[in-house]
């Protein structure tokens, strides 16, 4: 019986347990609801939980552990010279055996007879059944495959038996537990809390998993390129083409990329912060209710535009516009028309990214400014301060820590942005202070290094993980700092 | 600048014992509505110089609304409309020629919940004078701050920590800080909206004592839910009910022999 059927059976038992639990609760209460500690539904839920949860838990564990156990046992039964092969070959052999085992299960007695008579070999026979075997079938494999197959079916049988038994025992046990003063409600509550905790821990564990997956690759990268060269190198030149040549390692200097990232983010913040903040102040302090209800959603629509669309905007509109206007200015100033702003430049990317960030700044700051208690405004206005004095001297200082937190969150978004930069600032890794020239960022280079047909062993690709983890650490620090400030801000008044 | 000379104070206090002191603020046919809800109906009320006028009445009767009309704090509420006339020293405060900012500097306000700014004690008091340019140098500002805190009876308690956060004070101290803040801009009238409702009895007693002292220099209008407080601190009392002024008169008379049955019922605790 497969796992899905088992799950259905367990759930049916749980449903049965719910009904049985309710009925028993009503019966032990003598149909006087007030003599029960909890309402009868809670007793039903209590029984259902004890029926389903432990058995499903064991089922999940079984599904994870049993293939591992079986595989290792089959592997131990393989000939010694196979076991002596390197690790990568082990996986290959086990993969083959697994496919053969799968194919064998589909064979009819006639097929078996043909195989035995030698009329057909194993590989082509399985091929007929639609199971492709990668490489020749070695002599020891059918035996191992049969062993694997047998262990799997035995495991399946035991599993079904154990799971359903466990569900039944859980049902019986919890059903017997039901007494009028039993606190079923509290137990159900505990299970709900556990479920909520599980949900939040999944989010955290995923983050940890992401970091760990990068750490091992990064470590491999640093075995071929020294960290000092990576973190303090000023030349980015991974040299794809020269693979296999004498100095194929290339140069992996982080500095030009980091500088480009921070420079573009800086220009973007220079655009987004004043515009976003003033917009937020207008929205929260001056705009009437009706205007606010129209304009605020409109502003937030900006946040919903995919960044690649901003990239188009930069590529086809802003970039050429800046180039042309710089040519005009140059013409007016020196009488010779030549553009000093290139179409792809730090300025273009920064401008467009800044536009993208405006709604983040304004929306977050708006919420923070609105959260400043009305009493602060009243207090200041009541002393004869004007509206703008009140904002400048009372509301803004009170909201400042929160706003700084919001800005840091926005900055970490700017640092992680990719698509706008690819289209607006180009992919040339250069170290320059001139905002009118192309530069590139860490994220763009990550995409660059990982696009195409690549093997995951060369430093040219592994560097992407080192870049990724560097970026992750930077944005993580920014976010932590932002959260710290926001938390501090919460204590400011009260 | 708005402070009265010593002699004028004497004269004013002396005048009170003989005849009614002059009218400081006057409301005539004041109607206020928030959107479609009318909160005040045809209120006529006089506020007299150097007296404490208490506004009493059950919750939602419009007393706070009237108070907030006196320095146009209602302007900050969207959809609020005020009709009728309110004058300060004979000038209509709703006249377009009146600068609302200047008005609020003359008619200060202390709120129900102490609302010190998240700044230091010193900066809280210096806030108003700084905005209005009342001090020319640091020494002068120091003096204004000290005087205001002294008048609010807070200076001795906080003189060693003027540069710590005002929000770190106790509730009663915070409220006296807010009073000091209001005094610092030298208003003529101080409006107090249930200034003691968030305070414990000891802090309340201190603030009440303070109100009585402040009366010498300022005209005070106070909204209160406490009958005892109205009786203790005020010279005149106005009773509001359902947006109308029920009765207004000398506090002694209001509490001993009111004309209106509703006032009688309210102050004896039969409703409200």
CA nearest neighbour of B20 among B49, B53, B44, B54: B49
Residue A187 has pLDDT above 60, yes or no: yes
Q: Given CB atoms, is B102 within the 8 Å cutoff of chain A?
A: yes
Residue A49 has pLDDT above 50, yes or no: yes
Q: What pLDDT is recorded for position A230?
A: 87
> Which DSSP category does B57 fall into?
-
Q: Residue A126: how many CA atoms within 13 Å on its side-chain side? A: 22
> What's the whole-number mean pLDDT along residues A403-418?
88
A384 to B132: CB separation less than 8 angstroms, yes or no: yes
What is each CA distance from A454 to A219, A462, B12, in whole angstroms? 19, 10, 95
Q: Which residue of A has its CA nearest to B70?
A: A382
Q: B149 exposed, middle or buried (CB, 10 Å; 0-12, 13-18, 19+)? A: buried
A379 to B76: CB separation less than 8 angstroms, yes or no: no
Pick from A148-157, A306-315, A485-494, B105-114: least confident: A485-494
Neighbours of B272 (CB within 10 A): 16
Give residue-wise pLDDT tens across range B88-97.
998 999 988 8
Shortest Cα distance, chain A CAs vs residue B190, angstroms: 10
Pick from A103-107, A280-284, B5-9, B126-130: least confident: B5-9
Evaluate whether residue B32 is within a structural domain. Answer: yes
Q: What pLDDT is recorded for position A241?
A: 46
Q: What pLDDT is recorded for position A48?
A: 93
Tokens 């970039």 label which residue? Answer: A319
Q: What angle (nearest 5°) sits at the alpha carbon of residue A67, between those of residues A63 and A70?
A: 135
Helix (H, G, I), strand (E, B) or coil at B46: strand
B73 to A494: CB separation less than 8 angstroms, yes or no: no
Q: What pLDDT is recorded for position B53?
A: 94
Q: pLDDT band for position A242 (50/70/90)?
A: very low
Do the Cβ atoms of A460 and A250 come closer than 8 Å? yes
Q: What pLDDT is recorded for position A494?
A: 44
Q: What pLDDT is recorded for position A146?
A: 84
What tokens does A463 get? Answer: 């560097």
- Per-chain mean pLDDT for chain A: 85
Residue A87 has pLDDT above 80, yes or no: no
Q: What pLDDT is recorded for position B271?
A: 65
Q: What pLDDT is recorded for position B9?
A: 52
Distance CA A267, CA A471 (A): 18
CA nearest neighbour of A296 among A376, A232, A366, A219: A366
Q: pLDDT band for position A57 (50/70/90)?
A: very high
Shortest Cα distance, chain A CAs vs residue B262, angstroms: 33
Tokens 């220099």 label which residue? Answer: B217
> What's the whole-number mean pLDDT along residues A282-307?
86
Q: Pick the residue with more confidence: B87 or B269?
A: B87
For the ranges A87-91, A362-366, A448-452, the maximum mean pLDDT occurs at A362-366
Q: pLDDT band for position A240 (50/70/90)?
A: low
Residue A278 has pLDDT above 90, yes or no: yes
Q: What pLDDT is recorded for position A26?
A: 86
Q: What pLDDT is recorded for position A190?
A: 93
Interface of B with A in 75-94 (CB under 8 A): 76, 78
Backbone angles phi, psi at A326, to 5 degrees: -70, -35
Give residue-wise pLDDT tens across range A373-391.
888 999 999 888 999 999 9
Evaluate whether residue B119 is within a structural domain. Answer: yes
Residue A147 has pLDDT above 80, yes or no: yes
Distance CA B167, CA A379 (A): 14
Pick from A85-99, A231-245, A394-408, B243-257: least confident: A231-245
Size of interface A-B (CB pairs under 8 A): 74
Evaluate whether residue B84 is within a structural domain. Answer: yes
Q: Domain range spanning residue B200?
A: 22-267
B131 to A376: CB separation less than 8 angstroms, yes or no: no
Could you tell me which residues come within 8 angstroms of residue B247 by beta carbon, excluding any fewer than 6 positions away?
Answer: B238, B239, B254, B258, B259, B260, B262, B263
Evaluate whether residue B80 is within a structural domain. Answer: yes
Tokens 């102490």 label which residue? Answer: B114
Residue A160 has pLDDT above 70, yes or no: yes
Q: Pick the residue with more confidence: B187 or A105?
A: B187
> What's the whole-number mean pLDDT along residues A456-470?
85
- CB nearest to A493's CB, from B106, B167, B178: B167
Strand partners, B48: B23
Residue A303 has pLDDT above 90, yes or no: no
Q: Given CB atoms, is B115 within the 8 Å cutoff of chain A?
A: yes
A378 to B102: CB separation less than 8 angstroms, yes or no: no
Evaluate whether residue B9 is within a structural domain. Answer: no
Give residue-wise pLDDT tens across range B92-119.
999 888 888 889 999 999 998 899 998 8
Q: What pLDDT is recorded for position B8?
A: 56
Q: pLDDT band for position B15 (50/70/90)?
A: very low
Q: CA A273, A255, A209, A449 torsion: positive or negative?
A: positive
- CB nearest to B127's CB, from A373, A375, A383: A383
Evaluate whether residue B14 is within a structural domain. Answer: no
Query: Percent of chain A scored above 90 by pLDDT?
Result: 27
Q: What pLDDT is recorded for position A73?
A: 86
Evaluate whether residue B263 is within a structural domain. Answer: yes
Q: What pLDDT is recorded for position B6?
A: 52
Helix (H) or strand (E) holding A197: helix A184-224
Q: What pLDDT is recorded for position A489?
A: 64
Query: CATH number of the domain that B88 lies in?
Result: 3.40.50.300
> What's the whole-number mean pLDDT along residues A205-216?
89
A289 to B109: CB separation less than 8 angstroms, yes or no: no
What is each CA distance from A185 to A16, A166, B138, in whole angstroms? 19, 23, 66
Q: What pLDDT is recorded for position A11?
A: 94
Evaluate whether residue B223 is within a structural domain. Answer: yes
Which class would CATH give A231-490? mainly alpha
Interface of B with A in 170-229 (CB under 8 A): 178, 181-182, 185
Distance CA B146, CA B167 (A): 18
Q: Pick the residue with more confidence: B123 or A341?
A: B123
Shortest Cα distance, chain B CAs vs residue A170, angstroms: 56
Q: pLDDT band for position B33 (50/70/90)?
A: very high
Looking at beta carbons, which residues of chain A come within 8 Å of B133?
none
> What's the whole-number mean pLDDT along residues A256-270?
92
Helix (H) or strand (E) holding A40: helix A40-77
Q: pLDDT band for position B190 (50/70/90)?
A: very high
Q: Pick the residue with more confidence: A115 or A52?
A: A52
Give the total number of structural domains in chain B: 1
> What's the whole-number mean pLDDT along residues B179-200?
90
Give residue-wise pLDDT tens across range B201-242.
888 898 899 899 899 999 999 999 888 899 999 999 999 999
Residue A61 has pLDDT above 90, yes or no: yes
Q: Given CB atoms, is B244 within the 8 Å cutoff of chain A?
A: no
Strand partners, B47: B25
* B80-88: strand order across its sheet: B37-48, B23-34, B80-88, B91-92
Q: What pLDDT is recorded for position B1?
A: 44
Interface of A with B (CB under 8 A): 288-289, 373, 375-386, 389, 393-394, 397-398, 492-494
Looking at beta carbons, which residues of chain B come within 8 Å of A288?
78
Distance CA A261, CA A416 (A): 8
- Domain ranges (residues) in chain A: 3-209, 231-490
> What's the whole-number mean pLDDT along residues A429-446?
86
């Amino acid at each position: 019986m497969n796992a899905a059927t088992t799950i259905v059976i367990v759930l049916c038992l749980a449903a049965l347990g719910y009904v049985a639990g309710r009925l028993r609760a009503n019966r032990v209460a003598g149909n006087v609801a007030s003599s029960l500690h909890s309402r009868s539904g809670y007793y039903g839920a209590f029984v259902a939980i004890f029926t389903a949860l432990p058995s499903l838990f064991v089922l999940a564990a079984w599904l994870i552990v049993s293939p591992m156990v079986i595989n290792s046992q089959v592997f131990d039964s393989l000939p010694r010279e196979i076991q002596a092969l390197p690790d990568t070959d082990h996986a290959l052999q086990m993969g083959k055996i697994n496919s053969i085992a799968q194919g064998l299960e589909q064979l009819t007695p006639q097929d078996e007879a043909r195989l035995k008579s030698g009329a057909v070999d194993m590989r082509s026979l399985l091929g007929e059944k639609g199971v492709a075997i990668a490489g020749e079938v070695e002599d020891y494999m059918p035996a191992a495959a049969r062993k694997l197959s047998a262990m799997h079916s035995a495991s399946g049988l035991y599993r079904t038996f154990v799971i359903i038994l466990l569900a039944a025992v859980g049902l019986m046990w919890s059903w017997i537990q039901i007494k009028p003063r039993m606190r079923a409600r509290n137990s159900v509550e505990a299970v709900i809390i556990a479920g909520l905790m599980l949900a939040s821990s999944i989010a955290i564990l995923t983050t940890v998993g992401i970091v760990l997956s990068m750490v091992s690759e990064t470590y491999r990268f640093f075995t071929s390129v020294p960290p000092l060269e990576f973190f303090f190198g000023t030349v980015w030149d991974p040299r794809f083409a020269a693979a296999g040549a004498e100095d194929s390692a290339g140069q992996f200097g982080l500095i030009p990329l980091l500088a480009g990232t921070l420079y573009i983010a800086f220009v973007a913040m220079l655009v987004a912060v004043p515009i976003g903040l003033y917009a937020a102040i207008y929205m929260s302090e001056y705009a009437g209710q009706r205007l606010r209800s129209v304009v605020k959603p409109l502003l937030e629509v900006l946040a919903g535009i995919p960044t690649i669309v901003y990239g188009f905007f930069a590529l086809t509109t802003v970039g050429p516009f800046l180039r042309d206007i710089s040519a005009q200015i140059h013409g007016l100033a020196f009488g010779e028309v030549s553009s000093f702003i290139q179409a792809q430049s730090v300025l273009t990317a920064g401008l467009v990214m800044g536009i993208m960030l405006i709604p983040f700044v304004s929306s977050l700051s708006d919420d923070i400014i609105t959260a400043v208690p009305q009493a602060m405004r009243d207090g200041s206005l009541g002393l004869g301060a004007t509206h703008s004095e009140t904002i400048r001297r009372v509301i803004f200082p009170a909201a400042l820590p929160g706003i700084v937190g919001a800005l840091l969150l926005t900055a970490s978004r700017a640092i992680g942005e990719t698509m706008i930069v690819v289209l607006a600032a180009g992919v040339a890794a250069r170290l320059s202070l001139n905002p009118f020239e192309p530069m590139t960022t860490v994220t763009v280079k990550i995409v660059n290094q990982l696009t195409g047909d690549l093997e995951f062993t060369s430093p040219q690709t592994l560097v992407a993980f080192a870049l990724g983890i560097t970026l992750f650490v930077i944005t993580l620090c920014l976010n932590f700092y932002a959260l710290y400030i926001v938390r501090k801000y919460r204590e400011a008044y009260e | 600048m708005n402070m009265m000379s010593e002699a004028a104070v004497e004269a004013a206090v002396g005048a009170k014992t003989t005849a009614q002191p002059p009218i400081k603020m006057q409301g005539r046919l004041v109607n206020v509505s928030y959107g479609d809800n009318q909160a005040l109906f045809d209120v006529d009320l006089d506020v007299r110089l150097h007296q404490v006028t208490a506004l009493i009445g059950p919750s939602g009767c419009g007393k706070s609304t009237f108070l907030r009309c006196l320095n146009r704090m209602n302007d900050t509420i969207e959809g609020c409309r005020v009709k009728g006339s309110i004058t300060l020293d004979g000038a209509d405060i709703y006249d377009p020629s009146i600068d609302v900012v200047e008005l609020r500097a003359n008619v200060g306000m202390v709120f129900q919940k102490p609302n010190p700014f998240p700044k230091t004690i010193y900066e809280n008091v210096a806030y108003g004078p700084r905005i209005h340019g009342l001090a020319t140098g640091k020494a002068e500002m120091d003096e204004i701050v000290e005087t205001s805190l002294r008048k609010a009876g807070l200076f001795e308690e906080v003189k060693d920590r003027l540069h710590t956060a005002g929000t770190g004070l106790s509730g009663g101290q915070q409220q006296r800080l807010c009073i000091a803040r209001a005094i610092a801009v030298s208003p003529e009238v101080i409006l107090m909206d249930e200034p003691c409702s968030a305070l414990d009895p000891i802090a309340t007693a201190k603030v009440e004592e303070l109100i009585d002292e402040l009366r010498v220099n300022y005209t005070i209008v106070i909204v209160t839910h406490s009958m005892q407080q109205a009786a203790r601190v005020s010279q005149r009392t106005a009773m509001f009910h359902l947006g109308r002024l029920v009765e207004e008169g000398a506090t002694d008379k209001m509490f001993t022999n009111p004309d209106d049955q509703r006032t009688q019922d309210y102050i004896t605790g039969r409703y409200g």
